[in-house]
Amino acid sequence: MSEHILDALHRVILDRKANPSDNSYTASLMAKGIDKILKKVGEEATEVVIAGKGGSREEVVYESADLLYHLLVLLAYRDISPTEVYGELGRRFGFSGIAEKASRSTE
């Protein structure tokens, strides 16, 4: 596959957003709005944490896939392309995480 799977999935999510159908989980999330989407992102993040703490390798992979999918739904809902996230990761690449975080703001 020449297209990265996250980009392909994002394209499908955008299609479900633009052309909702009754049998689409993605379309149902979009219809329920940002609060439902954020709830799902939170739930999936928690499941990744639980799997990471004591689950099997397969559980971590499975729950991570769920989290990535729901993050992509959030991005699509907010009209943010994964390319923007990739760009931000690229901007940070090669910098100390501690230094990068400190450069964002002084509180």
Annotation: CATH topology of 5-81: Helix Hairpins (1.10.287)
- DSSP string computed for 45-107: HHHHHHHHHHS-HHHHHHHHHHHHHHHHHHHHHTT--HHHHHHHHHHHTTS-HHHHHHHH---
Q: Could you say which residues of the chain have pLDDT below 50?
A: none
pLDDT for res 103? 74
DSSP 16: H
pLDDT for res 22? 94
Q: 18 and 78 in contact (C-beta within 8 Å)?
A: no
Tell me the pLDDT tens digit for each residue of 35-46.
999 999 999 999
> 């159908």: which residue's tokens?
21
Contacts of 27 (CB under 8 A, 6+ apart): 16, 17, 20, 21
